[in-house]
Structure 1
Amino acid sequence: MPVSLGAVFILLGLFQVKHMFADYFLQTPKMLCGRGEYWHLGRAQHAGVHVLGSILVFMIVGAPPLFVTIIVALEWIVHFHIDFGKASYSEKRKLNPTQAIFWRAAGFDQCLHQLTYIAMAWFWVVYAH
């Protein structure tokens, strides 16, 4: 049975709420400092918080466990690298919130995360629903 447009919007809405909590309410100081180094345990934990949120979202919409396992593993990798790219770029240029380029970097980072959710929703429609 084809997935309804409403179900896709619900999934995307749940991803938005999950993203807000994982990116803005649940980050610890460990997750926020020293992010310019590649293997950063705090960034790995932060990506893990996103994964846990996505597992909850996919459970709400009834996605199959194997699909969830694969898609959140991919999300962890993508999220980790998007955040590394932004942190590396920002640290190399010594960006701060008073600079327009800081906000462009932050906006690009958030755009990539949102595109990730669109891709995850697309995979859900094609492979899990």
Structure 2
Amino acid sequence: MPAFDTTVPLGPLTALLLVMAAKHYLIDFVAQTEWMARGKERVIGWQAPLGVHVGSHALATLGIALLFKPTLWWIALVDFVVHGLIDRGKAVASHRLRFAMTDPRFWWLMGFDQFLHQITNVALAFLLVLG
């Protein structure tokens, strides 16, 4: 693990942070179908929609890794697992808490989900720059 005083090349890091944020937006919002969005939230039968959704993220991360640092191809697997855990965790919490969309706590949960995804993207970008 690099020390906190490790020199980080800001140009590549900035580029990767922007690319990862764009990837997340495109796959989580633009490319996600209704089948994925509704299906991954189900109590039963959520595995396939969630798998396709997180698989899309993993494939995009794989493409980014292959462009920036091909030896770190495996971060796509990390993204697959972490994104899946975050999304499934949010779905389980939503089922248990049952916040209406008009309840601010619904949006806090949605925001926390997105916050965790962005932390993941920052970590993956740092891995690609420093790895």
- Normalised by the size of structure 1, how large is the TM-score? 0.86
In the alignment, does 2:40 pair up with 1:37? no
Deviation string 1:37-93 (CA, Å, 9 cap, x unpaired) is 3852101110011112112222332x12x411x111011000001000111111222
Conserved 8 A contact 1:36-1:84: no
Give the match for residue 12 of structure 1: 17
Q: Tell me the alpha carbon deviations over residues 82-109 of structure 1, each in whole angstroms, 9 at most, x when there is no partner.
A: 0001111112222232110110001100
Query: Cα RMSD (Å) of the superposition?
Result: 1.8
Q: 5+ unaligned residues in a row in structure 1: which ranges?
A: none
Contact 2:65 2:75 in 1 (8 A): no
**1:100 matched to 2:107:** no
Q: What are the ranges of 5 or more consecutive residues in structure 2 without an aligned counterpart?
A: 1-6
- Corresponding residue number in structure 1 for 2:53: 46
State the identity %.
33
Contact 1:55 1:72 in 2 (8 A): yes
| 1:3 CA drift (Å) | 5.5
Q: TM-score scaled by structure 2?
A: 0.84
CA distance in 1, matches of 2:90, 2:117: 12
CA contact (8 A) 1:47 1:76 kept: yes
Aligned counterpart, 2:4:
none
1:80 and 2:84 equivalent?
yes
1:36 Cα deviation from its structure 2 partner:
4.2
Q: Once structures 1 and 2 are overlaid, which stretch shifts more, 104-113 or 39-48?
A: 39-48
Q: Is the 8 A contact 1:86 1:105 kept in 2?
A: yes
